[in-house]
Amino acid sequence: MKKRGYGIGSMWYGIGSTAATNPSGAFVDFLDDGTAIVMSGCADIGQGSTTVLAQIAAETLGVGLEDVVVITADTGMTPDSGPSSASRQTYISGNAVRLAAEKAREQVIAKAAEMLDLDPGEIRLRDGQVWYEEEPAGKTMIEVIAQCRGEGILTLGHGTFNPATTKLDPATGQGVPYATYAFATQIAEVEVDTETGIVEVKKIVAAHDVGAAVNPQNVEGQIEGGCSMGVGYALLEEVVVDGGEIKNPGLSSYLIPTALDMPEVFPMIVEAQEPSGPYGAKGVGEPALVPTAAAIANAVADALGIRLYDLPLTPERIVAAIKAAASSQHE
Amino acid sequence: MSETCVVGKSAPRVDGPAKVSGKSQYGADIDIPGALFLKVLRSKTPHGMVKRIDVAEALKIPGVVRVFTHADVPGENSYGIIVKDQPALTDQVRFRGDALALVAAETEEAAKQALEVIKVEIEELPPLYDVWSAMAEKAQAIHAKGNILTVSRVKKGDAAAALRTAAVVVSRRYTTQRVEHSYIETEAGVAYMDNGILVIKAGTQNPHYDRRDVSRVLGLPMHKVRIIQAATGGGFGGKLDISVQCFLGLAALKLGRPVRMVYDRRESIAATGKRHPFLVEYTSAADREGKLLAVKAKIIGDTGAYASYGPATLNRAAVHATGPYEVPNVDIEALCVYTNNPFSGAMRGFGTPQMAFAAESQMDLLAQELELTPLEIRRRNVLRPGSLTATGQRLDHSVGISATLEAAWEKAGRVMPGLGGEVK
């Protein structure tokens, strides 16, 4: 018999290393033609951080995304931006890039204010133009940067950001381990075959508070990828170790989800703006996965009326749990 | 003017065209003419002292240039992001997978042949495969300071008193498994000397950390080591540790020739970190209205032979153990324990997916006891602006858990018709 069930998994996740300094640095070189080079130590491992950093730099400098090149993760060229871990790069390196770009921008604004005899506090850079009170002020950014060069001013900026945390008391763990937290709720729908013990995850609704999505499609990609990893964690994956030896060191025996195992995922972006984040952003990389197995386990318990306490929820374990429940009813 | 132009837009990935057209250079794609191939001899013994490594036969194989052992490591032969407990090439074996020797050869085939004929004599020690025997009082210490690496505690209020008087108390024991990251790309890279600077190009999640430990192990000043991240095909935490970097650096430095190496899938799985298996004893208590009164949990994580990110994983697990809920009384203890198993390290979530499984199961169990819906018990307990976390941190802003709960519920009601408006 196939039984359907639904389960909720909620989570919180502190952005950045726990109760530890974890700074990031960035350089921005605002060039003569209004394009820019960003240098960041942040390693893009497929999660899309280079794109996100380019967007933050372009936004801050008032130029197009195509006007920004980001050089990353080369200790000979880029400052230390810390690890691509702890869902920290958008928040921490994003802030470092934003601050570096602001420093470069300030110099252009200061020069524009001088050239146009305007209050620098009211000047904005946007679309390659200098803006004053919602209107182009009559100078292009290229003209202003050229003036800077003529006076021997390089429009460079550097930025560093270290999240505001404290150490934790070793006896009580009290303190401020993270500057901000991401939150999420996922709801899973499963179908459990009570004869075979096979669980099919049909749908996952995944609502994630990321602060603000710098790149919504990228956030959705992270959420979908996280759900796939969570399906594997909940149902399939286990490195079998016997006598200290891994018995399934290959992808023919260590099974991860394929496209056929994937549920329909409904990613939802919730934006509870983080004032200390770059343009309100927090992070999503790990949160995407964190509640998935929990939601699936709760859905399986809902379907069967029997709860399992050991991951993964393999067919063998599910069949055994159903049999154990049936025999305890007979007693 | 306040609206953003570029931020908040689904801009195409800047690295997309190179990746989809196959032009990105991953560690294994970088072709350096004349590069030697490197292979690692790994221990099949779980625990013991290396008495002798005889490489004479290996050196006779045509094409084999050099075989390195622990005796050839010029700097401090230990690395690790948190605890410097892992040797690049070891004279003390702590798991089936420890690196004993590094072969450099003109061809991959010659390097592989050399691995077959290196003779290693190991004086075996009794292995410890589970956290309980590792924690036993008279257990053989796998590392000098003993097998309990760290104990993280989070304590707030009086959990014991709350548990005595609460209307509902639920206690359960949870276990979670060891998991492989399964990134598409295995560990790979190249290294060469460039005008006196050692250059290493490899897949990594943290090039600046790599520089610190390569510099330490090779005894080079930091400015003489340059780490360049090659295009990296996924990491999920598994490429935060040193893998090929020290091997590449040692061989390039000592031989003055470019070198390359690639882990095959088997080596990648056997020799790099895993998600920590957890054992969690979890007790939750609530009042009749379903308000959480206390959470008490003991968490034990098997970090295997080396610390890697183990202390950070167990610490984060302790800090997040309550789930996204306001709990006035908290008593959490999380132990990170060495064993002779393959080592565990960082993996997406750092101990929190394990804890979410336990904490969210507990919430549903409490709901069941109180005849509340899973939705309702969460609504009554989620963190809100002004809430205090388990570590006593006041959350003032950007606390979107309630918004995600309501948004997910509303959406689920529409796309999951069987939900019937309420989770049972």
pLDDT digits (tens, 9 = 90+) for B62-111: 999 999 999 999 999 999 999 999 999 999 999 999 999 999 999 999 99
| Contacts B176 to A, Cβ<8 Å | 310-311
In the sheet with B48-54, reading across from the earlier edge strand, the strands are B92-93, B48-54, B119-124
pLDDT for B4: 83
Nearest CA in chain A to B268: A249
* β-bridge pairing B64-68 and B148-156: unpaired
Phi, psi values for residue B190, rounded to 5°: -135, 165
What gap in Å lies between CA B41 and CA B103, rounded to an integer?
Answer: 8
Tens of pLDDT, residue by residue over B224-265, are 999 999 999 999 999 999 999 999 999 999 999 999 999 999
What gap in Å lies between CA B115 and CA B128, rounded to an integer?
Answer: 27
- A24-161: which CATH topology? Aldehyde Oxidoreductase; domain 4 (3.30.365)
Structure-token pair, residue B303 = 């970090």
Of the options 2.40.160.10, 3.30.365.10, 3.10.20.30, 3.40.50.300, the CATH number for the domain spanning A2-14+178-330? 3.30.365.10
Where are the domain boundaries for CATH 3.30.365.10 in chain A?
2-14+178-330, 24-161
Phi, psi values for residue A315, rounded to 5°: -55, -40
**Confidence check: pLDDT of A268 > 90:** yes
Q: How many CA atoms lie within 13 A of B218 on its CB side?
A: 27
Tens of pLDDT, residue by residue over A104-127, are 999 999 999 999 999 999 999 999
Residues present in chain A in total: 331
Predicted complex: ipTM over 0.90: yes
Closest CA to B228 of B246, B249, B203, B209: B203
A138 contact partners, CB below 8 Å, separation of at least 6: A116, A130
Distance from CA of A104 to the nearest CA of B (A): 18
Nearest CA in chain B to A235: B177
- The per-residue pLDDT of chain A, averaged, comes to 97
Q: Which of 25-54 (B) contact A at CB < 8 A?
A: 46-47
pLDDT for B421: 53
Contact between A181 and B400 (Cβ < 8 Å):
no
Contact between A12 and A183 (Cβ < 8 Å):
yes
**Confidence check: pLDDT of A329 > 90:** no
Confidence class for position B411, pLDDT limits 50, 70, 90: very high
Tens of pLDDT, residue by residue over B323-338, are 999 999 999 999 999 9
Confidence class for position A310, pLDDT limits 50, 70, 90: very high
Q: Is A40 on the interface with B (CB under 8 A)?
A: no
- The per-residue pLDDT of chain B, averaged, comes to 97
pLDDT for A163: 98
Structure-token pair, residue A22 = 């974890």
**Confidence check: pLDDT of B3 > 70:** yes
3-state secondary structure of B163: helix
Contact between A1 and A197 (Cβ < 8 Å):
no
A292-304 and B352-370 helices, crossing angle to 10°: 30
Put simply, the answer to whether B364 touches A254 (Cβ < 8 Å) is: no
Put simply, the answer to whether A275 touches B398 (Cβ < 8 Å) is: yes
Nearest CA in chain A to B181: A229
Tens of pLDDT, residue by residue over B128-140, are 999 999 999 999 9
Confidence class for position A133, pLDDT limits 50, 70, 90: confident
Confidence class for position A330, pLDDT limits 50, 70, 90: confident
**Confidence check: pLDDT of A146 > 90:** yes
| Contacts A211 to B, Cβ<8 Å | 398
What gap in Å lies between CA B299 and CA B313, rounded to an integer?
Answer: 11
User: A301: part of which helix (H) or strand (E)?
Assistant: helix A292-304
| Contacts A295 to B, Cβ<8 Å | 360
**Confidence check: pLDDT of B376 > 60:** yes
| Contacts A50 to B, Cβ<8 Å | 13-15
Structure-token pair, residue B306 = 């080396």
Distance from CA of B204 to the nearest CA of A (A): 7
Beta bridge partners of B86: B79
- Give the mean model confidence (pLDDT) for residues B314-321: 98
* List of domains in chain B: 133-179+274-419 (3.30.365.10)
What gap in Å lies between CA B321 and CA B361, rounded to an integer?
Answer: 12
**Confidence check: pLDDT of B424 > 60:** no
Tens of pLDDT, residue by residue over A201-245, are 999 999 999 999 999 999 999 999 999 999 999 999 999 999 999
CA dihedral B55, B60, B63, B65 (to 10 degrees): 40
Active site residues of A: 286
In the sheet with A181-193, reading across from the earlier edge strand, the strands are A2-14, A181-193, A199-209, A264-270
pLDDT for A53: 98
- Give the mean model confidence (pLDDT) for residues B289-311: 98
Tens of pLDDT, residue by residue over B268-286, are 999 999 999 999 999 999 9
pLDDT for B1: 43
